[in-house]
């Protein structure tokens, strides 16, 4: 932040949100929240407020003076101006959260969150949890407007802020948006993915480094692949062939994308109805299954097991629409692959682990199917929670045949709609490899079964290592452990043994 100290006062710009005496404020979802104006401003603080009318202050945003229906105020030598006026002039998105009496502003991938009466704010980039930044003055109410010390604009939205003492002018300038220089299709695809992951509706790039004929032929599929996991409703893009610059796109994102974005930003203020219920349930589930210090692998395993143990596959001929949603997993506890993969993604998003949804076909009949892709320690893995849930449902039983596979392993009975980069080649966190559950003899099986049952587990899965698991002589297992149930997955060479 740039500011100038005079001999007697440090001048700092501020920002604001519109409030009436007892205003009705609508958030993005159209919900109305009542707020008691002035609640954060003590009588002593009110006595220290002085009108800035004696020395009129001009506020400019990107070089243009802005209109403010409430004059700036001075609080202990700090100048504050209305937040809403600043946000509207910047073209930022503003959300009001009645529960926490806070306001969030989003601009160019950055966000800031200020709360009534607080001496700090949350600032960060879209998708992270942000950090606390101290403020030199608390937000105050003046003329029905919430005034926030404006270092928020500089710190939170990466704007430049300056003060001209001679003209009493505070200036805010948006961060310069540069057009990325793209010289390959791979770089273009990565840039599009990055923007879509932030749920931006527009994107432009200078693609002069790519042959126009090649770009024209391949762009449609490239763009479609990039947005496939978001299950878009509609989209369109424009190609400017003269300058070789591609300007994309207007996308309508679905509810999974909305809840995912809310989980990454930490604010549910834009959600309503079932989306808000799902958001709250994701937070509740994560609080119950995760523990401090867990690795990303341990988080993934906990989420995987929760879904399998608490969801029944909807095998009906005509599944209810709800079964295709994360809501079906969390509240009806019954779903098809769409619901499983969406619930898994949202839980992983909430846990801070990178995750995507993959669609395609599976099984010998080429049935439409959905599964997931995760990133652990810089490598990618594939996981199919649906196929790890026994059908018919077996309470207490969890399979791991499709937990953290490579592309090659998953492609044995799954066929994605499109190639998804980067490739999934990780092997360290494959369930069987990581947990030492590779069986090379019946002795390995007996040892693993005894250990699992002694730990109170209902089942154990083992993968054949250099042998066909169907060739194992299970008579010795029965003799040492007793009667058991077992099953095979021939495509992955896995045996599942349960009580």
**Does one domain contain both 425 and 441?**
no
Measuring CA to CA, which residue among 124, 152, 111 is closest to residue 16? 152
Mean pLDDT of 68-92: 78
- Tell me, what's the pLDDT at 252? 56
CA atoms of 169 and 59, how far apart (whole Å):
6
Position 229 scores a pLDDT of 55
Tell whether 415 and 335 lie within a shared domain.
yes
Helix pair 273-289, 255-265: axis angle to 10 deg: 50
Cα–chain center distance at 316: 32
Does residue 106 carry a pLDDT above 90? no
pLDDT for res 85: 83
Assigned token pair, 447: 């040892």
Give, as one character, the DSSP assignment of residue 441.
Answer: S
Give the domain range for residue 205. 185-248
22 pLDDT band, cuts 50/70/90, is: very low
Q: Helix, strand, or coil here: 175?
A: coil
Are 241 and 219 part of one and the same domain?
yes
Question: Exposed/middle/buried for 6, CB within 10 Å: 0-12, 13-18, 19+?
Answer: exposed
Question: 55 in a domain, yes or no?
Answer: yes
- Rounded to the nearest 5°, which phi and psi values hold at 463? -105, 135
**Does residue 7 lie within any of the structural domains?**
no
pLDDT reported for residue 311? 97
Residues 429 and 451 in one domain: no
Per-residue confidence band for 165, with pLDDT thresholds at 50, 70 and 90: confident
Tokens of 59: 């506020």
Handedness of CA 126, 132, 134, 137 (dihedral sign): positive
The helix (H) or strand (E) run that includes residue 124 is: strand 120-125
Residue 307 has pLDDT above 90, yes or no: yes
For residue 11, name the pLDDT band (cuts at 50, 70, 90): very low
* Same domain for 121 and 54: yes
CATH code of the domain containing 154? 3.30.457.10
More confident residue, 278 or 31: 278
- Examine the domain organization and report whether 239 and 294 are in the same domain: no
Q: How far is the C-alpha of 286 from the C-alpha of 266, rounded, in Å? A: 14
| Total tally of structural domains belonging to the chain | 4
Residue 288 lies in a domain: yes
User: Would you place residue 250 in the very low, low, confident or very high pLDDT band (cuts 50, 70, 90)?
Assistant: low
Are 436 and 412 a contacting pair, CB within 8 Å?
no
3-state secondary structure of 119: coil
**pLDDT tens track for 332-378:** 999 999 999 999 999 999 999 999 889 889 988 788 899 999 999 99
Q: Is residue 458 part of a domain?
A: yes
pLDDT in tens, 205-226: 666 667 666 666 666 676 666 6
> Distance (Å, rounded) from C-alpha 72 to C-alpha 59?
9
In a domain, 179, yes or no: no
CATH classification at residue 310: 3.10.620
pLDDT for position 203:
64
Given a cut of 60, whether residue 16 has pLDDT beyond it is no
Together in a domain, 399 and 457 = no
Residues 81 and 143 occupy one common structural domain: yes
How do strand 334-335 and strand 312-313 relate by DSSP bridges?
parallel
Q: Residues 283, 429: one domain?
A: yes
**Residues 446, 373 share a domain:** no
> Sorting pLDDT into bands at 50, 70 and 90, what band is 134?
confident
* Whether 115 contacts 139, CB under 8 Å: yes
**What pLDDT shows up at residue 30?**
29
User: First and final CA of the chain: distance in angstroms?
Assistant: 65
Model pLDDT, residue 373 = 95
pLDDT of residue 110: 73
Q: Give the helix ranges, DSSP H, for 69-166.
A: 83-90, 151-157
Residue 41: band (very low, low, confident or very high) from pLDDT cuts 50, 70, 90: very low
**CB neighbour burial string for 59-95, b if at least 16 within 10 angstroms, e if fewer:** bbbeeeebebebebbbbeebbbbbbbbbbebbebebb
Inter-residue contact 382 to 403 (CB < 8 Å): no
Query: Which range is least confidently modeled, 119-128, 177-186, 241-250, 449-458?
Result: 241-250
For the stretch 316-325, pLDDT in tens is: 888 888 899 9
pLDDT at residue 129 is higher than 70: no
**One domain, residues 475 and 389:** no
Query: pLDDT over 70 for what percent of the chain?
Result: 73
Q: Judge if 294 and 263 occupy the same domain.
A: yes
Q: What is the mean pLDDT of residues 93-109?
A: 75
């Amino acid at each position: 932040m740039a500011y100038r100290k005079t001999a007697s006062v440090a001048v700092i710009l501020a920002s604001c949100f519109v409030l009436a005496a007892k205003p009705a404020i609508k958030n993005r979802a159209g919900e109305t929240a009542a707020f008691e104006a002035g609640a954060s401003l003590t009588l002593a603080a009110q006595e220290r407020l002085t009108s800035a009318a004696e020395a009129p202050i001009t506020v400019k945003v990107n070089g243009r003076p802005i209109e403010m229906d409430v004059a700036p105020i001075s609080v202990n030598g700090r100048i504050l101006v209305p937040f809403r006026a600043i946000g509207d002039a910047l073209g930022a998105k503003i959300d009001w959260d009645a529960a926490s009496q806070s306001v969030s502003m989003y601009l160019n991938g950055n966000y800031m969150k200020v709360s009534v009466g607080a001496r700090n704010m949350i600032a960060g980039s879209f998708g992270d949890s942000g950090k606390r930044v101290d403020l030199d003055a608390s937000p105050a109410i003046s003329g029905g407007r919430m005034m926030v010390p404006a270092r928020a604009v500089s710190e939170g939205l990466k704007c430049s802020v300056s003060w001209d003492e001679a003209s009493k002018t505070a200036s805010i300038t948006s961060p310069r948006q540069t057009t990325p220089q793209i010289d390959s299709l791979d770089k273009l695809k990565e840039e599009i993915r990055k923007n879509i992951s932030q749920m931006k509706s527009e994107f432009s790039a200078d693609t002069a480094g790519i042959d126009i004929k090649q770009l024209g032929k391949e762009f449609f599929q490239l763009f479609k692949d990039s947005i496939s996991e978001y299950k878009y409703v509609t989209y369109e893009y424009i190609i400017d062939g003269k300058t070789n610059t591609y300007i994309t796109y207007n996308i309508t994102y679905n509810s999974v994308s909305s809840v995912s974005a809310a989980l990454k930003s930490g604010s549910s203020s834009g959600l309503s109805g079932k989306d808000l219920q799902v958001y709250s349930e994701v937070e509740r589930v994560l609080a119950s299954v995760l523990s401090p210090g867990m690795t990303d692998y341990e988080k993934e395993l906990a989420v995987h097991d929760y879904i399998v143990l608490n969801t029944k596959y909807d095998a009906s001929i005509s599944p209810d629409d709800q079964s295709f949603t994360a809501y079906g997993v969390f509240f009806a506890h019954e779903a098809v692959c769409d619901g499983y993969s969406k619930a898994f993604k949202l839980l992983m998003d909430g846990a801070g682990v990178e995750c995507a949804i993959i669609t395609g076909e599976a099984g010998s009949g080429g049935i439409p199917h959905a599964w997931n892709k995760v990133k652990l320690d810089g490598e990618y893995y594939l996981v199919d929670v649906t196929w790890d849930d026994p059908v018919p449902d077996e309470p207490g039983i969890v399979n791991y045949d499709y937990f953290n596979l490579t592309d090659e392993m998953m492609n044995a009975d799954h066929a994605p709609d499109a190639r998804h980069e980067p490739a999934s080649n990780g092997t360290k966190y494959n369930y069987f490899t990581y947990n030492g559950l590779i069986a090379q003899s019946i002795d390995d099986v007996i040892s693993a079964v005894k250990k699992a049952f002694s730990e109170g587990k209902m089942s154990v899965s083992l993968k054949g290592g250099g042998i066909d698991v169907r060739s194992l002589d299970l008579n010795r297992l029965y003799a040492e452990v007793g009667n058991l149930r077992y099953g095979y997955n021939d495509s992955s060479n896995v045996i599942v043994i349960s009580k």
